[in-house]
């Protein structure tokens, strides 16, 4: 029997109360009541356990919610700070873009043109430069500003770029309202508008001052070249006459002193004539009048002839001279032998000039590659002369330039020889290269591709 029921019965009937004295029905009733007490205790314990468990879960949930709130607050602060930074960056970018736009508006001529060539936008600087009002340009065809009919090649390139929706870059002239020309450097590229329509953005940079300066410089250059050519011809004519009479005078009867004087005059005249020839060649190169005259050429014979031409000067300085020719080089190649001879003669003459007594010089010609149509050869001159300092090597091919001013005083020369030679080899689609060290000699060489003669 449940303890609480027993205690209540004894309190009511006395401590000596015994349930055994009760009749059977009453005992059954008391057992039913006792079972109810027991069920109550079980339910109470279940509720207490449930409350304990729920309290723990609620506490843990509360802790979790508190921690998540803290995390969310921290994340919110972080995102807010990031947003503030982004806003500041966007404001800075917006300010920078405004400055860029202002700079572009002030420096560039900008317009938009639809696919039909109709102007839809112009900036203030374009109007100011062209002399038109915005309403005089918007709605008009772009040919009002520029036309490339006089330059069909450029017009074709622009049309192709527009058709292929690619960027076009080029220089041409635009027409102002007054009819004068303004030279511009143009960049034209396709741009998609907000409604999806493709338009052309035209960005022009005014280069009128640069273009006019270039045109003027070219005119001055042509005038200078023409003056040099005329002067060279005017001076060379009497010089040739002087040389002719010097040769005639040398055949007459002269004493030793007169012969020595005549040799000095002849040497000085030849030197002056060489200077005049250099100036004339230089003026031709500057005026772009150099043309190649291709003839059937035997390189071996050309180089042997040059060596023979300089043999006297080589012997005078007791220079050990070597001519090395590759026997596999064809005896008939299509080349401008006169210009090759001029270049090699200049390089060999310099080698002799700057090589001391008892030095050495090698002139060589080697086959690099060939096929059934052409041969690529390398012509080189190596000497044991004074050499060229590394910092001066980049300037030796410039006009009127030598390794240093003392070279001119000691060895003479115009400083045009290497410049002329480099230009002649450039006309043959090659270049003269140099390897040198001060007081260790120099190695000049060039490679040229020559077609084999067709018989």
Domain boundary pick from 222, 251, 286: 286
Give the torsion sign (CA, 140, 144, 146, 151). positive
Rounded mean pLDDT, 348-369: 93
Whether 32 and 79 map to the same domain: the answer is: yes
Q: What DSSP designation does 121 have?
A: E
pLDDT mean across residues, the chain: 81
- pLDDT value at position 76? 79
Rounded mean pLDDT, 33-43: 76
Whether 313 and 415 map to the same domain: the answer is: yes
In whole angstroms, what is the distance from residue 126 CA to residue 134 CA?
9
Contact 345, 420 (CB under 8 A): no
Return the SS3 of 109.
Answer: strand
The full 3-state SS of 411-426, as one line of letters, equals HCCCCCHHHHHHHHHH
- Residue 114 CB contacts under 8 Å (≥ 6 apart), including other chains: 120, 197, 199, 200
- pLDDT value at position 149? 65
Whether 377 and 399 map to the same domain: the answer is: yes
Whether 205 and 217 map to the same domain: the answer is: no
- pLDDT value at position 292? 81
- pLDDT value at position 290? 67
196-233 confidence digits (pLDDT tens) = 777 888 888 888 888 888 888 888 877 777 777 677 66
Paired residues of 363 in beta bridges: 323, 381
- Residue 220 CB contacts under 8 Å (≥ 6 apart), including other chains: none
By CB atoms closer than 10 A (0-12, 13-18, 19+), residue 364 is middle
Q: Is 454 left (phi over 0), alpha (psi -120 to 50) or beta?
A: beta
- 123 versus 5: the higher-pLDDT residue is 123
In whole angstroms, what is the distance from residue 256 CA to residue 268 CA?
18
Whether 86 and 170 map to the same domain: the answer is: no
Write the CATH number for 308. 3.30.565.10
Helix axes 337-354, 299-309, angle to 10 degrees: 40
In whole angstroms, what is the distance from residue 364 CA to residue 348 CA?
11
Whether 311 and 356 map to the same domain: the answer is: yes
Whether 305 and 280 map to the same domain: the answer is: no
By CB atoms closer than 10 A (0-12, 13-18, 19+), residue 234 is exposed
Write the CATH number for 263. 1.10.287.130
- pLDDT value at position 374? 93
Whether 313 and 441 map to the same domain: the answer is: yes
pLDDT classification of 67: cutoffs 50, 70, 90: confident
Residue 168 predicted with pLDDT over 50 = yes
How many Cβ atoms sit within 10 Å of the Cβ of residue 408? Answer: 15
pLDDT classification of 81: cutoffs 50, 70, 90: confident
Q: Tell me the chain's radius of gyration from C-alpha atoms.
A: 51
405-430 confidence digits (pLDDT tens) = 555 445 555 567 788 888 889 889 99
- pLDDT value at position 365? 95
Q: What DSSP designation does 413 have?
A: -
In whole angstroms, what is the distance from residue 431 CA to residue 445 CA?
9
In whole angstroms, what is the distance from residue 161 CA to residue 168 CA?
6
Alpha-carbon distances, residue 78 vs 84, 87, 91, 420 (angstroms): 10, 14, 20, 71
Rounded mean pLDDT, 121-148: 88
Write the CATH number for 203. 3.30.450.20
Contact 164, 146 (CB under 8 A): no
- pLDDT value at position 409? 47
Paired residues of 374 in beta bridges: 451
pLDDT classification of 361: cutoffs 50, 70, 90: very high
Rounded mean pLDDT, 374-379: 95
Residue 119 predicted with pLDDT over 60 = yes
DSSP string, 36-62: HHHHHHHHHHHHHHHHHHHHHHHHHHH
Whether 364 and 265 map to the same domain: the answer is: no
Residue 115 predicted with pLDDT over 50 = yes
Q: How far is CA 251 from the centre of its chain?
A: 63
Contact 310, 349 (CB under 8 A): yes
- pLDDT value at position 284? 65
Contact 202, 113 (CB under 8 A): yes
Domain boundary pick from 262, 286, 310: 286
The size of the chain, in residues, is 455
Residue 164 predicted with pLDDT over 60 = yes
288-331 confidence digits (pLDDT tens) = 666 788 999 999 999 998 898 888 889 989 999 999 999 999 99
Global pTM reads 0.49
Rounded mean pLDDT, 44-52: 71
Contact 113, 119 (CB under 8 A): yes
Tokens at residue 251, please? 């055949």
Whether 354 and 274 map to the same domain: the answer is: no
- pLDDT value at position 371? 93
Residue 24 predicted with pLDDT over 80 = no
Tokens at residue 452, please? 């084999």
Helix spans in 205-255 (H): 208-250
- Say how many Å lie between the first and final Cα of the chain, rounded: 139
Domain boundary pick from 286, 317, 332: 286
Number of domains forming the structure of the chain: 4
In whole angstroms, what is the distance from residue 200 CA to residue 135 CA?
19
Q: Which domain holds residue 83?
A: 3-98
Rounded mean pLDDT, 56-66: 73
- Residue 345 CB contacts under 8 Å (≥ 6 apart), including other chains: 306, 309, 310
- 437 versus 192: the higher-pLDDT residue is 437
pLDDT classification of 281: cutoffs 50, 70, 90: low
Whether 191 and 262 map to the same domain: the answer is: no
- 2 versus 451: the higher-pLDDT residue is 451
Whether 14 and 151 map to the same domain: the answer is: no
Contact 366, 381 (CB under 8 A): no
- Residue 80 CB contacts under 8 Å (≥ 6 apart), including other chains: none
Contact 296, 334 (CB under 8 A): yes
């Amino acid at each position: 029997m449940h303890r609480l029921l027993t205690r209540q019965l004894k309190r009511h009937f006395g401590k000596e109360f015994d349930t055994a004295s009760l009749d059977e029905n009453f005992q059954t009733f008391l057992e039913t009541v006792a079972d109810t007490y027991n069920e109550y205790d079980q339910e109470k314990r279940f509720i207490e356990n449930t409350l304990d468990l729920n309290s723990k879960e609620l506490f843990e949930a509360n802790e979790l919610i508190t921690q998540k709130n803290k995390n969310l607050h921290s994340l919110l602060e972080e995102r807010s700070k990031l947003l503030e930074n982004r806003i500041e960056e966007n404001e800075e970018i917006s300010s920078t873009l405004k400055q860029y736009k202002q700079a572009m508006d002030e420096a560039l001529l900008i317009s938009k043109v639809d696919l039909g060539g109709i102007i839809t936008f112009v900036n203030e600087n374009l109007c100011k430069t062209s002399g038109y009002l915005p309403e005089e340009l918007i709605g008009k065809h772009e040919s009002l500003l520029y036309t490339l009919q006089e330059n069909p090649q450029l017009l074709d390139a622009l049309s192709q770029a527009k058709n292929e929706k690619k960027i076009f870059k080029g220089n041409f002239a635009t027409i102002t309202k007054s009819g004068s020309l303004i030279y511009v450097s143009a960049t034209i590229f396709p741009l998609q508008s907000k409604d999806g329509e493709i338009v052309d953005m035209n960005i022009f940079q005014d280069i009128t001052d640069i273009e006019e300066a270039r045109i003027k410089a070219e005119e001055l250059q042509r005038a200078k070249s023409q003056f040099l050519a005329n002067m060279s011809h005017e001076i060379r004519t009497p010089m040739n006459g002087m040389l002719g009479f010097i040769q005639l005078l040398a055949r007459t009867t002269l004493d030793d002193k007169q012969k020595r004087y005549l040799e000095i005059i002849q040497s000085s005249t030849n030197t002056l004539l060489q200077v005049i020839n250099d100036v004339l060649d230089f003026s031709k190169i500057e005026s772009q009048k150099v043309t190649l005259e291709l003839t059937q050429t035997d390189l071996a014979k050309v180089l042997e002839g040059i060596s023979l031409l300089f043999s006297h000067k080589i012997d005078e300085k007791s220079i050990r001279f070597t001519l090395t020719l590759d026997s596999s080089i064809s005896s008939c190649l299509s080349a401008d032998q006169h210009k090759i001879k001029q270049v090699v003669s200049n390089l060999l003459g310099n080698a002799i000039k700057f090589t001391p007594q008892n030095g050495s010089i090698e002139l060589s010609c080697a086959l690099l590659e060939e096929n059934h149509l052409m041969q690529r050869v390398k012509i080189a001159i190596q000497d044991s002369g004074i050499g060229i300092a590394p910092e001066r090597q980049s300037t030796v091919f410039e006009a009127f330039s030598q390794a240093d001013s003392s070279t001119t005083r000691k060895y003479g020369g115009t400083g045009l020889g290497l410049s002329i030679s480099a230009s002649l080899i450039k006309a043959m689609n090659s270049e003269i290269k140099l390897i040198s060290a001060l007081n260790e000699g120099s190695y000049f060489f060039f490679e040229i591709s020559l077609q084999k003669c067709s018989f």
